[in-house]
Amino acid sequence: MAAMTPDVVRGAVGAVGRTPLIQFEELSEFTKCRILGKAEFLNPGGSVKDRIAAALIADGEATGRLVPGGEIVEATAGNTGIGLAMAAAARGYRTAFTVPAGLAAEKVAYLRLLGAEVIEAPDVPFSDERHFYHAAARLAAERGAFHADQFRNLANRDAHYRTTGPELWRQTGGEISALVAAAGTGGTLAGTGRYLKEQAAGIKVVLADPIGSALYSYVKRGVLAADDHDYIAEGIGIGRLVPNFEGAPVDDALQVTDRALVETAYRVLRREGLLLGMSAALNVWAAARVALRLGPGHTVVTVLPDGGERYRSKLYDPAWLAARDLTPRFPDLLGLLAL
């Protein structure tokens, strides 16, 4: 058998990471800063969650909670499930995922194509035992399966400390003024932020939070409180403090409206040719706002968690947007960043 070379990897999991940084040309010129997005949609499973999938499985194996031929159960808004199903297929595990009602149909279809069992749970508050997180914990207990638990399992943020942070530091030559990103489990922001601050304490870590999530309030005032507002972004924002986010080195936070998310997605599509997912568009808007706040000459990095193909039935469907009064209006850049 031929020897492996640096350009050949073993299976899909071996291709995770080492994603490029993309400079947003129009926004960079407007803000007089470098605004860079980590293209996580180029991972083999199509999202940033590919990074944590192998780490969660390795944790299960190391602790004996995941045995050969066993089953992995997880609560997911789609992307973590896809990453886990991809990695599980390569290692001979079965997968079952609980998802919130109304999840993008493209994600559910992808999970099933990967051979996963998908169980839809009502879209209810976390305090309700029918919530998809609690449903996954019960299912794992009933079946004697491994509950990957991306919210509580610290293998999540450790994976970003070991991979995403070092990649960003190397790709920018250490020239980073701020890291700006949303949080769901908090693993990306916590792990990446911790690594970058260990390299240069002056780097600002800024949370981008959809209105309706409680994390903005927690960062700004130390209290978990959220407006009674439904937001369209999937997989980000949360109403509770989870272990992966707890202790994250976050310096500041800003809130992002659904309108800002939508307008940014369509602006980037038309001007940069990139079809971004919901959280990616939210992150880009927030990064540009932070760049304006910092002033010319800074480098602001963010994460592009997934691509827009997974939201064709939502973010890129005119009827879906119109029903929510979110049809794009295409404001100029000044108007966009004032949203």
Residue-wise burial string across 21-51, b where 16 or more C-beta atoms lie within 10 A, e elsewhere: bbebeebbebbebbbbbbbbbbbbbbbbbbb
Q: How far apart are CA 178 and CA 20, in angstroms?
A: 18
Which of 168, 12, 166, 186 lies closest to 90, judged by CA?
12
Place of tokens 């080195």: 249
Which of 49, 107, 204, 314 is catalytic? The answer is 49
Write out the two tokens for 122: 């009502």
Q: Would residue 49 show up in a list of annotated catalytic residues for this protein?
A: yes
Non-local CB neighbours of 199 within 8 Å, separated by 6+ positions: 169, 174
With contact defined as beta carbons under 8 Å apart, do 128 and 162 qualify?
A: no
Q: How far apart are CA 281 and CA 284, in angstroms?
A: 5
With contact defined as beta carbons under 8 Å apart, do 182 and 279 qualify?
A: yes
With contact defined as beta carbons under 8 Å apart, do 264 and 258 qualify?
A: no
Which of 80, 66, 152 lies closest to 114, judged by CA?
80
Place of tokens 């749970």: 121
Torsion angle defined by CA atoms of residues 100, 102, 107 and 113, in that order, rounded to the nearest 10 degrees: 80
Q: How far apart are CA 87 and CA 76, in angstroms?
A: 15
Task: Look at residue 8 and give its three-state secondary structure.
Answer: coil
Q: Which helix (H) or strand (E) holds 117?
A: strand 117-121
The residues annotated as belonging to the active site are 49
